[in-house]
Amino acid sequence: MLWLCIALPQLPLEALRSEDTDAPLVVAACEGSARWIVCGNPAAHSARLKPDMNYTVALALCPTVQKLERSAAAETAALERLAAWAYQFSSTVIPGEVPLDFRRARSGALWLEIGGSLKLFGGFRDFIAALERELGLLHYSYQLGIGPTLEGAALLARSGIRVVMPSPAALQLRIRNLPIALLALEPEIAGALHTAGVRTIGLLLELPRDAVIKRFGVQLGNFLDRLVGTAADPRPVFRLPARYAARFDFEFEVKSTEALLFPLRRMLHEFAGFLRARDTGVQRFTITFAHRGAAGTPMAIGLSLADRDANRFLTLVREQLEHLELPAPTIGLGLAADQFAMPAALQADLTHGSLQQNEELAHTIDRLAARLGAQHVHGLRQVADHRPEASWTAAPLQAARATPQFPERPLWLLQEPKPLQLSVVPQIVSGPERIEGGWWDSGDVQRNYYVMHLSNGSSLWVYQDLGERGGWYLHGFWS
């Protein structure tokens, strides 16, 4: 097996905040009576604020530093969303555990078995290019490592080695000179090894395994066996849920709807990855804005055609956000969907591009519905009646059906036919077309319809009333 590890060193920060700021910002955690820095943004790093630094010292160095409290629950939720997103690249996805020890909080990771996926994506280079292209849209800081074992791939990722190690022998040869600080060990074990003078991984692997276990414990021996592939490394494999439910919690109140677009963009791209993993689309999903001490505000997003394009989702969300009034500041976002459908064709028709045009038309209609309100935009549904004014009715967009094959009809019908008054006899180009019906609702009609052309180039749809009224009437026209 060949494992790809996505290491996420900034996960404690990026699980709480999806966009960066120019101000120094750190995530801190308490241990005992002291508070320690877990990680920080680039501005904090430039201010010499580093992981494991006492927060009091950090305040002395940079009084303007902003602080977020670490949330292991938010990190776990982020890893679960990423696992659902990663399923589009591999059917074997393993999300790493979130360590409670703040000193190991930057070791968050996700593994994908990629040996069976390379041919599907056209080879190793195309696979990595596709994965990094989609991963870049999520705006996570990441490092990749590829090796024959889970711990080996994670070690390569943390050390920044972007070279495929296909076998345990090649892995051992490549990691010999790396410091033991890069291993995902408990801080106590790492400290004991350092005290004993064991500074490199090669030296640790050369020590007799029985002696290592006797001095440093069985835990270290088992870890080394999993690292080099001499022992199995069974871990729970992620399974796609039947319904999608994701949540993003803030450690602060967000009052501006514009600021909500940053986390929403990430959530929608994660959602689109989940839909691609299931090879399906969605026609309706719900975004919920959570408030402190108040019920959440739901926002339903509906599409006229099933889709899985994150950018189209974001366009509709942005349109509705402009008209949404939230009753209180937002402290979290939820995204849920439980009904899925196959998406419309994603490629254009080979001759006329009609499929792509249908998608673009549907997207335009969805934008109008999001901007004007769904109650002001509707589709048309056929009614079993030959009378033109009674052959259709307004219907919700999702309930509208394609127009059946009728004789040519003008798009613009008058609400009430008007007596035809022309000073010049027009040219009749087609007709008559006899339409009779309506006796069942006291609206009986008997008409002969004609298409007439005027000298200015316009075309009229007129009829001769064969009933009691008699005369000629204008019923519709083409532009």
Residue 239 dihedral angles phi and psi, to the nearest 5°: -125, 135
Q: What whole-number distance in Å separates Cα of residue 253 and Cα of residue 289?
A: 11
Task: Give percent above pLDDT 70 in the chain.
Answer: 90
Q: What whole-number distance in Å separates Cα of residue 85 and Cα of residue 135?
A: 9
Q: Are strands 281-291 and 294-307 parallel, antiparallel or unpaired?
A: antiparallel
Report, as an integer, the average pLDDT of 251-255.
Answer: 84
3-class DSSP state for residue 241?
A: coil
| 347 confidence band (pLDDT: 50, 70, 90) | very low
Q: What whole-number distance in Å separates Cα of residue 188 and Cα of residue 71?
A: 23
**Is residue 349 assigned to a domain?**
yes
Whether residue 280 sits in one domain with residue 222: no
**Is residue 350 assigned to a domain?**
yes
Question: Among 89-98, 315-324, 360-369, which range has the highest average pLDDT?
Answer: 89-98
3-class DSSP state for residue 172?
A: helix
Contacts of 351 (CB under 8 A, 6+ apart): none
Whether residue 268 sits in one domain with residue 220: no
Whether residue 335 sits in one domain with residue 462: no
Examine the fold and report which residue of 198, 228, 258 is the final residue of a domain before the chain moves on: 228
| 348 confidence band (pLDDT: 50, 70, 90) | very low
E strands, 243-329, are: 244-254, 281-291, 294-307
Of 285, 286, 291, 295, the residue nearest 250 (C-alpha) = 291
pLDDT at 114 over 50: yes
For 368-392, give one letter per residue: b (16+ CB within 10 A) or e.
Answer: ebbeeebeebbeeeeeebebbbebb
Q: What whole-number distance in Å separates Cα of residue 227 and Cα of residue 430?
A: 83
Residue-level pLDDT at 28: 95
Both tokens of 230, joined, read 């001499």
Question: Among 128-132, 214-218, 400-404, which range has the highest average pLDDT?
Answer: 128-132
Q: In this predicted model, what pLDDT tens digit does every residue of 442-464 receive, in sequence order?
A: 778 889 999 888 777 778 888 98
Residue-level pLDDT at 130: 95
Of 201, 1, 14, 212, the residue nearest 106 (C-alpha) = 14
Both tokens of 97, joined, read 């555990």
Whether residue 311 sits in one domain with residue 205: no
Across 244-248, 293-297, 434-438, least confident range: 434-438
- The per-residue pLDDT of the chain, averaged, comes to 87
Residue-level pLDDT at 375: 67
Whether residue 217 sits in one domain with residue 92: yes
**Is residue 384 assigned to a domain?**
no
**Is residue 345 assigned to a domain?**
yes
Whether residue 80 sits in one domain with residue 218: yes
Q: What whole-number distance in Å separates Cα of residue 106 and Cα of residue 51?
A: 9
Across 24-38, 280-294, 394-408, 456-470, least confident range: 394-408
Helix (H) or strand (E) segment spanning residue 226: helix 218-228
Whether residue 223 sits in one domain with residue 252: no
pTM over the 0.85 mark: no
Q: Any idea what the Cα angle at residue 380 is, between residues 379 and 383, rounded to 5°?
A: 155
**Which strand ranges, in their side-by-side order, compose the sheet holding 472-478?**
412-419, 472-478, 459-465, 445-453, 427-437
3-class DSSP state for residue 137?
A: coil
Task: Locate all alpha helices (DSSP H) within 379-420, ordered by sequence.
Answer: none
- The answer to whether 271 and 337 have CB atoms below 8 angstroms apart is yes
Both tokens of 326, joined, read 């939230």
Residue bearing the bigger pLDDT, 387 or 86: 86
E strands, 228-387, are: 244-254, 281-291, 294-307, 330-337, 340-341, 379-382
The crossing angle, in degrees rounded to 10, of helices 218-228 and 150-159 is: 80
pLDDT at 353 over 90: no
Please give the distance of CA 385 from its chain centroid, rounded to a whole number.
Answer: 44
pLDDT at 345 over 60: no
Examine the fold and report which residue of 196, 228, 260 is the final residue of a domain before the chain moves on: 228
Whether residue 354 sits in one domain with residue 308: yes
pLDDT at 342 over 90: no
pLDDT at 410 over 90: no
Helix (H) or strand (E) segment spanning residue 477: strand 472-478
pLDDT at 429 over 60: yes
Q: What whole-number distance in Å separates Cα of residue 382 and Cα of residue 373?
A: 23
Number of domains the chain is built from: 3
CA distance to 75, 178, 187, 287, per residue, from 99 (Å): 10, 23, 12, 30
CATH code of the domain containing 305: 3.30.1490.100
Both tokens of 25, joined, read 């910002």
Please give the distance of CA 375 from its chain centroid, rounded to a whole number.
Answer: 27
| 349 confidence band (pLDDT: 50, 70, 90) | very low
**Is residue 236 assigned to a domain?**
no
**Is residue 89 assigned to a domain?**
yes
Report, as an integer, the average pLDDT of 136-150.
Answer: 95
Residue-level pLDDT at 397: 63
Whether residue 329 sits in one domain with residue 432: no
Total Cβ atoms within 10 A of residue 423: 4
Whether residue 94 sits in one domain with residue 204: yes
Residue-level pLDDT at 147: 96
Whether residue 208 sits in one domain with residue 138: yes
pLDDT at 303 over 90: no
Examine the fold and report which residue of 372, 399, 432 is the final residue of a domain before the chain moves on: 372
Q: What whole-number distance in Å separates Cα of residue 239 and Cα of residue 131?
A: 19
- The answer to whether 273 and 84 have CB atoms below 8 angstroms apart is yes
pLDDT at 241 over 80: yes
Report, as an integer, the average pLDDT of 292-302.
Answer: 90
Amino acid identity for residue 125 in this structure: R
Whether residue 367 sits in one domain with residue 280: yes
Report DSSP state, residue 17. Answer: -
Report, as an integer, the average pLDDT of 245-268.
Answer: 89
Residue bearing the bigger pLDDT, 167 or 305: 167
Domain that holds residue 471: 412-478
**Is residue 242 assigned to a domain?**
no
- The answer to whether 56 and 35 have CB atoms below 8 angstroms apart is yes
